[in-house]
């Protein structure tokens, strides 16, 4: 019954857990059925009898009353709403997927019911009592049931709809703003004032309108993208076919004659070389579709902005014509005063209309930019979820993050100015037409100068492009190394490798800065050319004009109309090259994005979800490889029972490829070998997006042995887990990962050795309660890859794998009887586990579908292990310590008090208030104070020359009056032209001087700041990395360093030049009409206030933008590292939605910032228009006293000022916004450092020579606010002694190793090694003299040799010797490049076992006197484990060895065993002694099935 109703509603009919929570509610389906049908059923059972009087009665109906009419009208309205509901449902069902039946049934029932009510009302007119008791009961019932429905809808609306729907009208005033308010952006004023009163937070910013939200934009974009990519792929196929045909033709020609074929060969090799240079190592890809897609998606925006821009561009040319009339008016004695006033008012109006159009146009453009960026980021994110392994290999996480940050940003910048591509040429053409009217053919001289400048410009753009492309590669490379350094920071610290990696990053950075310097020099030259351009053009035109014909005299009308037209010309001519170079950069990005987004997706066709007779999973003739055409990692795997599996060296491949090629039925859950944990609460990690069912949740936690851990965590399951599960121990991570799978309640479980990271007794418990025949999963299909042989007797079927193929399969008994490889394997390694397994095999009754695969490791087939966990050495949770939590709303109700140490990841600090002056000074100091001074002086000199040029021109035009009706003296003419030219050239030279100086200074600043940041980050203590998400640090190295490199120098230069421009313009107007000085004061005050209000808001909005941007990258990084898990569970849609939410939050901040700019611009341009108006008005008022030339100078300068005023504020706020990057970088250069790497007190040479370790009352805690982890440890470890360290999870085992390496500093007591107190020497002196084989084998991108010996301290012979001892020599000899074989990101192209052996080789190479093994063999199979143990015994016989073990077998032959419990030593003696007395150790040994030390062969 319930199931039928579930289907009827399309949701769950009943789930009791809905009532087991503080915000209890009834399921939607229950409300739609039971609560609706109770009143309706009541009426339909009893209602029809009420209609009888109509049929029987002969009586006359009583008259129609008002009440009767009201009742009938209301009922009719109710019926119409039901009809409307039915129609809507039908329409929605037709457009999208069909809706559940309940959506059609309920409205239909209501229509019938309201008809019945109408009839009953009418029938009651035959009775004396007009009302009906049954109707009264019906209304009462409807009200009661309806109130439950209503409260549910209301609560849902408050949670979701209110924010989304109502918030739009309630919170975003733009939706309801009037026309006037819209064009002047008055609706935004309240936000500006709020921002002035208090620093804005993200919560203060209005929500986006529905059409601007990510979902609605991306839906359209994706639809267009799919069609475009399909077309582009068809084109690609055509190209490939042509190419094949051509090559076929060449082969045919080759047979003609030997001599000819030789020539062709030469040709081909040349061509190949050419190709190589052309396309690099990349293959062809579908191209040309991205721009089309964007155009198709955003065509409305583009069309509207074209209209506004066109109107603006045309009105721009009205002002010079009005200026011409005004000069004529001043020069003409007889003209009427009213004409002058009309011209002044017209100048003001044309300026205002220009301003309004321009601001609407800019709003549209910037909106387009943000939406393009958002669409691209969403597309990149979605692609990362669906791409195939081969495509994934081509782009590392660092490169993809760069696509998101840098490349998407390029598109955003480009979209802002895309219309300049047609608008600039249009303005240039119109200017020339009007200039021809003024100066006639002489304009051609000016034009010739312009045309000459174009090739120079193209040359500069092309050069810049090549540099830019080179630099993007350097950036990618640097970011790739940085993210690796941050991922493997613990290893770098343990091995004291920071200097080597610092050197690598600095080398790349040096190349990057060299290119940057060249790029800046090119930019300086192009700025120089473009400053010269308008001046050279006017010089050429005027000179030719006066030289051609001596009757041509330059008068004020001609000169200043021409000058204002030349000024109009300046903007399009300056913009065109910028837009072109931006187009070039976008082109580079387009190529990168097209290659990435059109890469091949996962081929899901090989996976069949069809029911299979008698099997849950079936492989048939399956061959798996990591990429198409790659070597097969698994060949011809064919098995199909109720379960199937693969193992051995290729087991991880089976696991990961399981979702890539085979057939299975039902849903799937996957537990990877290296657990993948999200940065969320523990509970969220387990629920993983599923509904909470409290009872099942508790059952899962108990079965996965998580209850004791929850007691240790400060806020239980509401504890926040750091990135990559950094504050959980390896075992805890693995158990959380297992709990996630169990809770998901899937049909098939794929378990990639989940028990390797947990202690033996925990493993046994998990097997019994979860995986085994009586566990929670007893009725599911389980495929378990395992290295442990103790569980084998309990499984139904075993598949043994060797060299990538299935070597045998069958039940435990069958395989033993076969006496094959499996039986031999058991004989060698199984003796120690025999007793345990014999005990366990009794009473295993029903064996339900558990199949195990096991493999030998003799053939180390090159296969990668699982990537999901990243490679982070976990910090174990010891006692109730270094744990953290992010209380969600629920938790806040339960635990309102923040527990000490509860929060791990602190909220990213957002600086508030004004950027401190010290930040500017810090930047200028980095540039060099002398440099800064001379740059400023250069700009001052340039503008002095500029004012000189204009005053000289004004004097020149007045000559026309002076020499009226006389011949113009030749020497006077030559003097005028000569001085005018000299002043112009000096202007450009001063500018060139300052730009070149500033380029050099800026690169110097970039170098200094990056060096400080990198140096300090590498010296930060481990606790800093625990509490700081990686995305945040990466953001400093990507976005903020990019800002310091490229944006700040530009901002500084623009700011200086705007400031000088305004000062010089106001100076010239005041010289012409001194009264103007009085008007400057009120305008200045208004300007200042607008600025004050705006800058505080804008600055804070930019800060919020950069803080809301980090989560986009963090979430992306997390998704990529957990890709296999997300895919296995089929949770792609949920992660996409999460990405949309994160994006919307960021978009909201960006959009608000754009509007704040427009709000400002419209007010400033009003000031500019007033300046024009008053300069014209004053000219009209003081008509008789002024020369035409000086009026022309005054008004043409004023016309120019509007744009400059606007740019000044823009550049000030941009500078202030960008200087925030200096602030953010500076924040991380002030992070407290760990102890110095080398101190004055150096240990003696050859220290430690004995290897004695002494702990004296040693105490330690992870962070100052947390409890102690080790509580006063005192013990002595003798020279060359072998000590095993054991203890339950969280006892402080790993903390002990962290203390030896001083990753944690003592809170009390000390550690002495060979009588040297380790706290007194430098960290590198300490760490270089100890060796560790860490728990997680971390490798870095680079050669294999670099991974073993980054400082090149050892010879090749020594390296080969170490590899031989680590049993890797044979394998490495077969690799391409041998020692120079390139290890991919995170060591992906080696299996976990091989990575562990590489770590062993590292230790062998160092050969320090003290060796620490941190559960080093947890992730490898028994045979590799055996190899490692044997090597350690023989090679480190004369060393002190500390082993932290999960498997007790590995430490049974130690001299002594240290047992830790809650940070204290509870037992410390030889294994024999400890087994003999009843204590903690003997209990653990019993759990692991060890009775005496002889039972272990390992």
One-letter-per-residue 3-state SS of 698-747: HHHHHHCCCHHHHHHCCCHHHCECCHHHCCCCHHHHHHHHHHHHHHCCCC
Ranges of beta strands (E only) in 754-796 are 781-785
Strand 1382-1383 to strand 1342-1343: parallel, antiparallel, or no bridges (unpaired)?
Answer: antiparallel
Taking alpha carbons only, the member of 364, 356, 360 closest to residue 212 is: 364
* Phi and psi, residue 79, nearest 5°: -65, -40
CA-CA-CA-CA torsion sign (746, 749, 754, 760)? positive
* Alpha carbon distance 1464, 119 (integer Å): 85
* Alpha carbon distance 244, 238 (integer Å): 10
Chain-centroid distance of CA 1480 in Å reads 48
DSSP string, 1177-1216: HHHHHTGGG--HHHHHHHHHHHHHHHHHHHHHHHHHHHHH
The reported pLDDT for the residue numbered 1493 is 61
Taking alpha carbons only, the member of 284, 289, 283 closest to residue 231 is: 289
| CB contact at 8 A, 738 and 698 | no
Taking alpha carbons only, the member of 625, 608, 597, 720 closest to residue 664 is: 608
| CB contact at 8 A, 1108 and 1149 | yes
pLDDT digits (tens, 9 = 90+) for 767-805: 888 888 888 888 888 888 887 777 788 888 888 887 778
- What parts of the chain have a pLDDT lower than 70? 20, 57-59, 159-171, 250-283, 574, 606, 612, 626-663, 829-915, 1415-1421, 1446, 1492-1498
Taking alpha carbons only, the member of 546, 591, 652, 491 closest to residue 1327 is: 491
Strand partners, 1467: 1459
Taking alpha carbons only, the member of 359, 356, 343 closest to residue 1173 is: 343
| Residue 663, C-beta contacts closer than 8 angstroms, at least 6 positions apart | 607, 608, 609, 610, 612, 617, 618, 620
* Phi and psi, residue 964, nearest 5°: -60, 130
| CB contact at 8 A, 742 and 820 | no
For the chain, the residue count is: 1498
The reported pLDDT for the residue numbered 262 is 43
534 by Cβ neighbours in 10 Å (0-12 / 13-18 / 19+) ranks as buried
Helix (H), strand (E) at residue 1255: strand 1253-1261
How many beta carbons lie within 10 A of that of residue 1088, not counting itself? 10
Taking alpha carbons only, the member of 1301, 1349, 1304 closest to residue 1325 is: 1301
Taking alpha carbons only, the member of 822, 742, 746, 744 closest to residue 754 is: 742
How many beta carbons lie within 10 A of that of residue 113, not counting itself? 21
The reported pLDDT for the residue numbered 308 is 92
* Alpha carbon distance 1305, 1309 (integer Å): 10
341 by Cβ neighbours in 10 Å (0-12 / 13-18 / 19+) ranks as middle
| Residue 655, C-beta contacts closer than 8 angstroms, at least 6 positions apart | 670, 672, 673, 750, 752, 785, 866
| CB contact at 8 A, 1340 and 878 | no
The reported pLDDT for the residue numbered 259 is 43
Roughly how many angstroms between the first and final C-alpha of the chain, as a whole number? 59
* Alpha carbon distance 741, 734 (integer Å): 11
- Helix 337-386 vs helix 299-316: angle between axes, to the nearest 10 degrees? 160
> How do the residues of the chain divide into helix, strand and coil, expressed in percent and rounded to 5?
65, 10, 25
Taking alpha carbons only, the member of 900, 904, 491, 480 closest to residue 677 is: 904
- Helix 318-331 vs helix 556-597: angle between axes, to the nearest 10 degrees? 170
Give, in order, the Cα–Cα distances in Å from 895 to each of 694, 715, 889, 1151, 1267.
Answer: 18, 8, 10, 37, 20
| CB contact at 8 A, 324 and 561 | yes
Whether a cis peptide bond, with omega within 30° of 0, leads into 1233 is no
Tokens of 515: 């290119």
* Phi and psi, residue 608, nearest 5°: -115, 130
* Alpha carbon distance 878, 730 (integer Å): 12
Longest dimension (CA), the chain: 128
| CB contact at 8 A, 924 and 1223 | no
Confirm whether pTM is higher than 0.85: no
């Amino acid at each position: 019954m319930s199931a039928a109703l579930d289907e009827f509603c399309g949701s769950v009919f009943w789930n009791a857990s809905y009532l087991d929570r503080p915000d209890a509610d009834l399921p939607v389906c229950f409300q739609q059925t039971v609560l609706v049908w109770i009143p309706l059923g009541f009426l339909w059972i009893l209602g029809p009898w009420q209609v009888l009087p109509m049929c029987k009665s002969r009586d006359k109906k009583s008259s129609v009353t008002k009440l009767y009419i009201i009742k009938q009208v209301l009922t009719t309205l109710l019926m119409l709403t039901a009809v409307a509901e039915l129609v809507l449902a039908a329409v929605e069902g037709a457009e999208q997927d069909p809706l559940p039946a309940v959506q059609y049934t309920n409205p239909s029932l209501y229509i019938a019911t309201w008809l019945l009510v109408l009839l009953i009302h009418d029938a009651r007119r035959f009775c004396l009592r007009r009302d009906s008791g049954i109707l009264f009961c019906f209304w009462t019932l409807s009200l009661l049931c309806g109130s439950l429905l209503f409260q549910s809808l209301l609560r849902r609306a408050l949670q979701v709809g209110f924010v989304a729907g109502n918030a739009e009208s309630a919170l975003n005033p733009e939706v309801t703003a009037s026309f006037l308010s819209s064009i002047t952006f008055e609706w935004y004023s309240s936000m500006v004032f709020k921002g002035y009163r208090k620093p804005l937070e993200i919560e203060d910013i209005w929500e986006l309108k529905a059409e601007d939200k990510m979902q609605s934009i991306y839906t359209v974009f994706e639809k267009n993208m799919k069609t475009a990519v399909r077309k582009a792929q068809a084109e690609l196929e055509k190209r490939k076919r042509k190419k094949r045909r051509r090559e076929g033709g060449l082969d045919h020609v080759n047979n003609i004659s030997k001599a000819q074929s030789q020539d062709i060969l030469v040709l081909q090799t040349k061509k190949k070389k050419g190709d190589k240079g052309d396309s690099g190592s990349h293959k062809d890809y579908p191209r040309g579709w991205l721009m089309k897609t964007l155009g198709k998606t955003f065509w409305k925006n583009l069309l509207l902005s074209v209209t506004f821009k066109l109107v603006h561009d045309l009105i721009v040319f009205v002002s010079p014509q009005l200026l011409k009339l005004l000069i004529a008016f001043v020069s003409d004695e007889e003209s009427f005063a009213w004409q002058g006033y009309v011209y002044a008012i017209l100048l003001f109006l044309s300026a205002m209309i220009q301003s309004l159009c321009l601001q609407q146009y800019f709003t549209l453009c910037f909106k387009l930019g943000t939406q393009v960026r958002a669409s691209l980021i969403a597309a990149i994110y979605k692609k990362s979820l669906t791409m195939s392994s081969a495509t994934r290999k081509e782009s590392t996480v660092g490169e993809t993050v760069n696509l998101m940050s840098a490349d998407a940003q390029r598109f955003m910048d480009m979209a802002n100015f895309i219309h300049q591509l047609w608008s600039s040429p249009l303005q240039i053409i119109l200017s020339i037409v009007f200039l021809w009217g003024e100066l006639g053919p002489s304009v051609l001289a000016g034009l010739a100068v312009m045309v000459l400048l174009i090739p120079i410009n193209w040359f500069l753009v092309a050069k810049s492009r090549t540099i830019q492309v080179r630099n993007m590669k350097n950036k990618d490379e640097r970011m790739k190394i940085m993210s690796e350094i941050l991922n493997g920071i613990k290893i770098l610290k343990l091995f004291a490798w920071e200097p080597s990696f610092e050197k690598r990053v600095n080398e790349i950075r040096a190349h990057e800065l060299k290119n940057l310097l060249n790029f800046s020099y090119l930019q300086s030259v192009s700025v120089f050319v473009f400053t010269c351009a308008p001046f050279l053009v006017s010089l050429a035109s005027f000179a030719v004009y006066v030289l051609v014909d001596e009757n041509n005299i330059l008068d004020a009308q001609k000169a200043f109309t021409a000058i204002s037209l030349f000024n109009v010309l300046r903007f399009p001519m300056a913009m065109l090259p910028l837009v072109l170079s931006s187009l070039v950069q976008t082109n580079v990005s387009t190529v990168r994005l097209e290659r990435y987004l059109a890469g091949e997706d996962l081929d899901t066709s090989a996976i069949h979800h069809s029911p299979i007779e008698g099997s849950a999973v079936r492989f048939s003739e399956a061959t798996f490889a990591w990429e198409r055409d790659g070597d097969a990692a698994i060949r011809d795997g064919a098995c199909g029972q109720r379960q199937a599996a693969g193992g051995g060296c290729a087991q991880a491949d089976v696991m990961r490829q399981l979702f890539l090629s085979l057939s299975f039925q039902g849903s799937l859950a996957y537990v990877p070998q290296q657990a993948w944990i999200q940065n969320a609460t523990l509970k969220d990690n387990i629920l993983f997006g599923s509904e909470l069912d409290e009872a099942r949740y508790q059952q899962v936690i108990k079965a996965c042995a998580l209850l004791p851990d929850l007691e240790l965590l400060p806020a239980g399951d509401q504890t926040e887990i750091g990135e990559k599960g950094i504050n959980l121990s390896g075992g805890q991570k693995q158990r959380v990962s297992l709990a996630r799978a169990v809770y998901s309640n899937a049909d098939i479980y794929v378990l990639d050795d989940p028990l390797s990271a947990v202690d033996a007794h925990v493993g046994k418990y998990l097997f019994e309660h979860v995986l085994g025949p009586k566990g929670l999963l007893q009725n599911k299909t389980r495929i378990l890859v395992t290295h442990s042989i103790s569980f084998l007797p309990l499984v139904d079927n075993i598949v043994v794998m060797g060299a990538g193929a299935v070597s045998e399969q069958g039940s435990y008994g069958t395989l033993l009887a076969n006496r094959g490889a499996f039986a031999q394997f058991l004989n060698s390694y199984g003796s120690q586990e025999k007793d345990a397994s014999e005990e366990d095999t009794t009473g295993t009754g029903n064996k339900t579908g558990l199949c195990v695969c096991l493999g030998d490791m003799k053939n180390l087939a090159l296969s990668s292990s699982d990537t999901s966990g990243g490679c982070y050495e976990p910090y174990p949770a010891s006692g109730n310590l270094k744990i953290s939590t992010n209380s969600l709303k629920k938790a806040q109700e339960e635990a309102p008090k923040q527990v000490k140490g509860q929060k791990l990841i602190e909220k990213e600090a957002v600086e508030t208030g004004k950027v401190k002056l010290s930040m500017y000074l810090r930047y200028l100091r980095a540039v060099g104070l002398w440099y800064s001074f001379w740059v400023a002086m250069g700009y001052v000199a340039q503008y002095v020359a500029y004012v000189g040029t204009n005053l000289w021109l004004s004097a020149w035009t007045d000559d026309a009056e002076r020499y009226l009706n006389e011949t113009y003296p030749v020497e006077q003419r030559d003097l005028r032209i000569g001085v005018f030219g000299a002043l112009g050239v000096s202007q450009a030279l001063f500018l060139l001087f300052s730009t070149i100086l500033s380029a050099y200074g800026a690169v110097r600043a970039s170098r200094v700041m990056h060096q400080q940041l990198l140096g300090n980050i590498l010296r930060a203590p481990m606790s800093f990395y625990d509490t700081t998400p990686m995305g945040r640090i990466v953001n400093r190295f990507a976005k903020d360093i990019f800002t310091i490199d490229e944006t700040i120098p530009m901002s500084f230069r623009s700011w200086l030049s705007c400031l000088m421009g305004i000062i010089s313009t106001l100076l010239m107007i005041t010289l012409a009409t001194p009264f103007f000085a009085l008007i400057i004061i009120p305008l200045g005050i208004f300007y200042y206030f607008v600025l004050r209000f705006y800058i505080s808001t804008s600055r804070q909005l930019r800060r919020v933008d950069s803080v809301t941007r980090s989560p986009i990258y963090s979430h992306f990084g997390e998704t990529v590292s957990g890709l296999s898990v997300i895919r296995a569970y089929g949770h792609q849609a949920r992660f996409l939605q999460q990405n949309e939410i994160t994006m919307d939050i960021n978009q909201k901040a960006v959009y608000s910032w754009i509007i704040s700019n427009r709000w400002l611009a419209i007010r400033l341009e009003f000031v500019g228009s007033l300046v024009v108006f008053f300069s014209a008005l004053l000219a009209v008022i003081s008509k008789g006293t002024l020369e035409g030339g000086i009026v022309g100078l005054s008004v043409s300068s004023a016309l120019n000022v509007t744009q400059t005023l606007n740019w000044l504020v823009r550049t000030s706020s941009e500078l202030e916004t960008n200087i925030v990057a200096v602030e953010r970088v500076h924040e991380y250069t002030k992070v407290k450092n760990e102890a110095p790497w080398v101190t004055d007190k150096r240990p003696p040479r050859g220290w430690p020579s004995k290897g004695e370790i002494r702990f004296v009352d040693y105490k330690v805690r992870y962070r100052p606010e947390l409890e102690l982890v080790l509580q006063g440890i005192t013990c002595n470890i003798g020279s060359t002694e072998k000590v095993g360290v054991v203890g339950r999870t969280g006892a402080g085992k790993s903390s002990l190793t962290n203390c030896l390496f001083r990753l944690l500093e003592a809170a009390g007591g000390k550690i002495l090694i060979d009588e040297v107190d380790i706290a007194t020497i430098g960290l590198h002196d300490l760490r270089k003299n100890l060796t560790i084989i860490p728990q997680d084998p971390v490798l870095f991108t680079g050669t294999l040799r670099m991974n073993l010996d980054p400082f090149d301290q050892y010879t090749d012979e020594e390296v080969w010797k170490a590899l031989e001892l680590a049993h890797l020599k044979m394998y490495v000899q077969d690799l391409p490049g041998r020692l120079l074989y390139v290890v991919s990101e995170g060591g992906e192209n080696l299996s976990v076992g091989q990575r562990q052996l590489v770590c062993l080789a590292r230790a062998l190479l160092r050969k320090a006197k003290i060796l620490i093994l941190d559960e080093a063999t947890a992730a490898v199979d028994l045979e590799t484990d055996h190899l490692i143990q044997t090597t350690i015994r023989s090679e480190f016989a004369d060393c002190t060895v500390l082993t932290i073990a999960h498997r007790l077998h590995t430490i049974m032959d130690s001299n002594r065993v240290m047992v830790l419990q809650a940070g204290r030593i509870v037992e410390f003696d030889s294994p024999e002694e400890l087994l003999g007395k009843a204590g903690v150790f003997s209990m653990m040994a019993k759990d692991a099935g060890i009775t005496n030390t002889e039972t272990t062969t390992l």
